Structure 1
Amino acid sequence: MAETVRLSPDGPHDYDYTSEVAIALSEVIRVLNHATLSCAGITYPSTVYDVLSRIGNATAGLDQLLAQLGEALRRMLESGQLVTITATQPTALTLRLMPYSTSSVSTPGRRPTTRSAHGTTITAPSP
């Protein structure tokens, strides 16, 4: 079933809209994977160049997006919305973020989260 997603950089931005756009992005990649699977989807070399060019334009903004998502998680951690969970709790969801400087974040009453030169690991509570 086809669903229309209205893309609007100016908003309004809320949880549902942000999730809807992320789902649409995932679907776009899936559709491109199917479209490029056979010769029917790639008839000319110019099609390959066009797709690569547009993918390059799209990925240029991923650094900003990932940094903003990481910053949102840091704010949530500092406000107590996220907690760290030890490796002995297998239901923990671990999110791997873009690299930042080596440091440690500690919230009173909570275990610290370490930020390393290889990336930042923040864990979310189990459901």
Structure 2
Amino acid sequence: MTANHTGIGVIGVGMPAMLHLEAFGREINDAFGHLPYLVGSAAKTKTWRDVDVRLILPDQEFDALFPQPAPYESPDGLWGLLCAALSELAKLRTGLPVDFQIQRMTYANERYPISHPRHALGLHDRNGQ
């Protein structure tokens, strides 16, 4: 999986929102065993419409949770419900307009190659460590 992390506070959401995103990332990691990523425009600039957060699961784990009817079709209702519910939770916890999605690793890597930054969320605790 392609990922990088440039450190707290240097991404477009600023402080203290980044601290809240880090805490949300730790909760996602506790639940799924994988860190989510800040992606999209908020990962690159202070000009953004929403804050894209993606949980990228290994293909086998994604497929076990969300069997797909055909390659690259939208997963089932559970996927939609989880994405919507976690988006709302993230909005409540962070105060940001979060668009949270769970993605299959192969899909994420093909659609968003290395030129699209991914900043791991949840690596830092409240003390920035």
TM over 0.5: no
Rg comparison, structure with higher value:
1
TM-score (norm: length of structure 2): 0.26
